[in-house]
Amino acid sequence: MLLELEDVSFTYMERTPLAQTALRNISVSIQEGEFIGLIGPTGSGKSTLIQHFNGLLIPTQGKVFVEDKEVGVEIKPAEARQKIGLVFQFPENQLFEESVFGDVAFGPRNLGCSEEEIEVRVKKSLEFVGLDYDSFKNRSPFSLSGGEMRRVAIAGVLAMEPKMLVLDEPTSGLDSQGREEILSRLEHLHHTESLTIVLVSHDMDEVAHLADRLIVLNEGHILFDDEPRRIFSQAQKLREIGLDIPRVTSLFMSLIDRGMKVPFSLFEVEQAADVILDLFGEMVR
């Protein structure tokens, strides 16, 4: 197993009057090659949870295993961080070098890679995120568009050659083109490199489209952990906790309520058009 959390609980400022429990008895396993969407309302513990994946936070109770080795006991947090790459929210705020190359090279340089190895990794990482090495390597990160800056930040994490990439709302604040660029690169990485990906998102359409498994977090515990189409059949429960369902699913559920024979497990607009045309076929000229 690539990652395993065993009965993990976490309390901020434990044993003080301000103690706040953020995670309660979380048990979850993630296998190599999965694409997981992690959703939950604000304050449900998503960011706290992913910081446990690579030893940035140590659980108050329970254990975390990376490749079957317990973090902090059999594997050092620093080593776990290399295997599980975390991309925080607004990662472009953490760019600081004068050139794109310098920024992406920062991680592998800290790992002690040789200059040749660093160059190979930077080149590969920039290509993974769809930025041409030669035209971008010498540019200042601060001269780039929002979407480009964010992709440089993601490349910086990829250059550590992690087994798993965890991204905390990587499309937040981007326009539709920037969003599209990031998501299609993630999809590509998953398919061609079989990179394991955990995507934290508030956009139900986004996770419905990409993930093959969804974990729903609410008030610090796991509410659902299942295939997207099964989770999105729980529309009422999701709305109760402040989430939503994909818009096409919502359309089809309304049609079902009105007695039409359509499936609800559809997420793509093209598929939706097919089903509707089948249903109303006789009306097409």
Binding residues for another protein (CB under 8 A): 40-43, 89, 143, 145-147, 169, 172-178, 180, 202, 204-205, 242-244, 247-248, 250-251, 254-255, 258, 260, 269-270, 272-273, 276-277, 280, 283-285
Give Rg (Cα) of the chain. Answer: 21
Comparing CB distances to another protein, the nearer of 70 and 205 is 205
Between the alpha carbon of residue 254 and those of residues 257, 261, 264, 281, 282, the distances in Å are: 5, 11, 10, 20, 22
Q: Are the beta carbons of 166 and 50 closer than 8 angstroms?
A: yes
Q: Which is nearer to another protein, 122 or 216 (CB)?
A: 216
Count CA within 13 A, CB hemisphere, residue 250.
11
Q: Give min distance, CB of 148 to another protein, in A.
A: 10
129 CB-side CA count, 13 A? 28
Counting Cβ atoms within 10 Å, is residue 237 exposed (0-12), middle (13-18) or buried (19+)? middle
Residue 174 beta carbon to another protein: minimum distance, rounded to whole angstroms: 7
Nearer to another protein, 120 or 255 (CB): 255
Least Å from the CB of residue 250 to another protein: 5
How many H helices and E strands in the chain? 12, 10
Least distance between another protein and beta carbon 90 (Å): 9
Least Å distance between CB 51 and another protein? Answer: 18
Q: In 43-113, which ranges are E strands?
A: 61-66, 69-70, 84-87
For another protein, which is the closer residue by CB, 44 or 125? 44
Alpha-carbon distances, residue 90 vs 10, 13, 144 (angstroms)? 24, 25, 14
Q: Which is nearer to another protein, 26 or 216 (CB)?
A: 216
